[in-house]
Amino acid sequence: MRISQSFKFEAAHRLPSVPSTHRCSRVHGHSYRVEVQLEGPVDPVTGFVVDFSTIEEAFVEIIKTLDHHYLNEVEGLENPTAERIAEWLWERLNDQLPDISSVRVYETADCWAQYDGR
C-alpha cells in the first residue's frame, strides 16, 4: 500500500550557482507544496500503513524551519533547488518515518523534483 500526505510552506530563495543573467539568481519566493509518500503493509489492527497524524508530527519542526524563511540561510540549503530541498527533507524524515518511499517538492504547480533515497 502507498499513502501520501501533502504540506505547504512559503519561502524565499535564490540560486547562487546559476549565471547572474538567470532569473533565479535574484531573490524570489515560491508557494511550495511537499508530498511525502510512504509504502508498506496495512496494519491489520489499526488499518493504517502509518497514521497521518504521525506524518504531521514529523513535519512540525520542519515547517517551522522553512515557512516564511530565506532558504539560503537554512543549514544544508545554501543552494536551495527543488532537488536539494527534496533530499534535505528526506534526511530529516527518514528516521521518524522508516516507511518513507519518496519526497516530492513542487516549486510551482507545474515543476517538481522527487527524491526516493537513492
Whether 68 is a known active-site residue: answer yes
Whether 111 is a known active-site residue: answer no
- C-alpha cell read off for 64: 517551522
46-52 LR contacts (CB < 8 Å, sep 24+):
49/1, 49/2, 49/3, 49/99, 50/3, 50/97, 50/99, 52/3, 52/5
Considering only CA atoms, give the Rg of the chain. Answer: 15
Contact assessment for residue 74 and residue 66, using Cβ atoms and an 8 Å cutoff: yes
- Of the residues 13, 30, 87, 107, which is catalytic? 107
- Of the residues 24, 35, 39, 83, which is catalytic? 24
- Of the residues 22, 68, 73, 78, which is catalytic? 68
Q: Which residues are catalytic?
A: 24, 68, 107
